[in-house]
Structure 1
Amino acid sequence: MDNRNDLTPTVFLPGFLCDERVWSDTLARLNLPGAMLAVHFKDCKDLQEMLNLVHDLPYHQFHLVGFSMGGYVAKLFATQHPDRVQSLSLVATNVGPLSERERQWRLSMKEFLGKYQYRGMNEKELSRFLHPKSLTDAHITRTIVDMSAGYTSEMYLNQMMATLDRKDLTSELRQLSCPILLVGGREDRVVPLKQLEALQQQIPKAQLDVIEECGHYIPLEKPAEMAQILSQFFSGHP
């Protein structure tokens, strides 16, 4: 008899301009005892709708895994509803507010997209996010380009503005009783490893794992390593 439905499920949240496909390669290598569900935020108009989407999932408790922007949503949800989150995994996620440089770049995109229709990320933009080796992998680059191309200008702006003004949740995370996992790519230029190391020092109970030869898109660039880290983490916190 299969009791998977009776076991704690795991919910996976995507990053900016992503959908469920950002987790597909990792989930294909992951065999957890409970259900695994990857969601997307494409239809959410603001941060509250993102939080509501997670809140309204048909699970009383679940493991929560967030990538990049999805990690911020995961952190915020966990601090607001600690009774529902059995463990929190943050993958390539900013520690606090966006840098002023990143914030200004996003605001410039707001002005641009007020005039032009978004057509998706081009391959030149990928060099900002990916490790050089990943840039030569057509599967990785095509998945990212295809995911972003599924966004209209309105969707892009809704998602960007929803998480533009991010709070530093370090003190709130320190108060959580659930296990916390941090995962970073050694060569991630969007979320430098030093940020995650600083967070881990402030939250001593948090576990930090670093993936070598990896940029920002960890679940796509290194799915086998990502799956192994999650498997080991969950085996200690079923």
Structure 2
Amino acid sequence: MGDETITEMYRARTDALTTDVGEGRPVVFAHGTLMNRSMFAPQLEALKDDYRSVAYDLRARTDRYAQEYDLGDLADDCAALLDGIGEDSAVIAGMSMGGFMALRFALAYPDRVDGLVLIDSMAAPHSAEEREAYGELVEPLEGSHESNPRELAESVTGYLFGETTREENPGLVESWVDRWATYPGAAVYNELHSWLDRPDVTDHLSEIDVPVLIVHGEEDPSIDPSRAEPMLEELPDAEMEIVPEAGHTSNLERPAPVNSTITSFLDERF
């Protein structure tokens, strides 16, 4: 499938691709690796009375997963999605990979971004050691259209969820393991490789002159909060909220405080 066909898929904005609720200023949610748009259900419910909230599935959760792509392609997809929902611009909220994309979207499409919400994400790349470890983890999945081995799905829970969640809410963790075990291997391989070797954009953050909210789980096992903090110094207008007892999927693990933080940010700044 060519990029043009994929772009048209996002412009079409089918119900199979998006969840679109509420009216008002648009907020678009982009998920992280292994997740899908349903991870933002708590945020859409919290915002629907005052904002138009749209969560969408990125390429890996569609039938267009088999083609190689990068974060620039995902940013173009986000622009096509805005076309599809009939919005010139929006607040872009991205979790992890979705945040990597959101930063690049803001740089590539500055007139189409009103603000950013970066959830458990960062501007710097992963270390060489991390890139090697992640690459080895998904190497057996390259080109596979078979479902992921369940043991692999179970092995990554420690990357996505904080210690408190794994101990106190095992049902949430298990429900996502069940989903991960249904994904085609190539979908996960290409998804991870879309960002694995991404360049550092820290030196370009000063160009993002819109309000930015950084939300980060205190127990994030994949991206420690300290790795997100440098963005505060480089972004012209940014604030950060640490979420106690939450890991890499802080908005899903502790939706109440995250919803409160995002709502306050949107109400005060927009």
TM-score, normalisation: structure 2: 0.79
Q: Counterpart of 2:110 in 1: which secondary structure?
A: coil
- Measured after TM superposition, the shift of residue 204 of structure 1 is 5.4
Q: Distance in 2 between matches of 1:68 and 1:39?
A: 15
Q: Which residue of 2 aligns with 1:23?
A: 40
Q: Which residue of 2 aligns with 1:175?
A: 207
Greater RCO (Cα-Cα under 8 Å, separation 6 or more) = 1
Q: Which residue of 1 aligns with 2:79?
A: 55
- Measured after TM superposition, the shift of residue 110 of structure 1 is 4.0
Judging changes above 3 Å, is the alpha-carbon distance between structure 1 residues 108 and 124 closer, same or farther for their aligned structure 2 residues? closer
> Whose helix fraction is larger, Structure 1's or Structure 2's?
2
Q: Which residue of 1 aligns with 2:180?
A: 148
How many percent identity over aligned positions? Answer: 25
Alignment partner of 1:233 is 2:250: no
1:105 aligns with one of 113, 133, 138: 133
Size of the alignment, in residue pairs?
234
- Measured after TM superposition, the shift of residue 95 of structure 1 is 2.6
Q: Counterpart of 1:158 in 2: which secondary structure?
A: helix
Alignment of 1:1-238 (within 5 A): 5=23, 7-31=24-48, 33-41=50-58, 42=60, 43=62, 44=65, 45=67, 46-47=69-70, 48-57=72-81, 58=83, 59-114=87-142, 117=146, 118-119=148-149, 121-135=152-166, 136-203=168-235, 205-238=237-270
Q: Distance in 2 between matches of 1:138 and 1:30?
A: 27
* Runs of 5+ consecutive residues of structure 1 not aligned to the other structure: none
- Partner deviation per Cα, 1:173-230 (whole Å, 9 max, x = no partner): 2122210111111111211111122221233521011111111111211111111111
TM-score, normalisation: structure 1: 0.89
Q: Runs of 4+ in structure 1 displaced over 4 angstroms?
A: none
- Measured after TM superposition, the shift of residue 236 of structure 1 is 1.4
**Aligned partner letter, 1:87:** G
- Partner deviation per Cα, 1:110-153 (whole Å, 9 max, x = no partner): 43224874235534431343222211313421332133234211
Q: Distance in 1 between matches of 2:138 and 2:246?
A: 29
Q: Distance in 1 between matches of 2:149 and 2:52?
A: 34
C-alpha contact (below 8 Å) 2:122/2:231 kept by paired residues = no
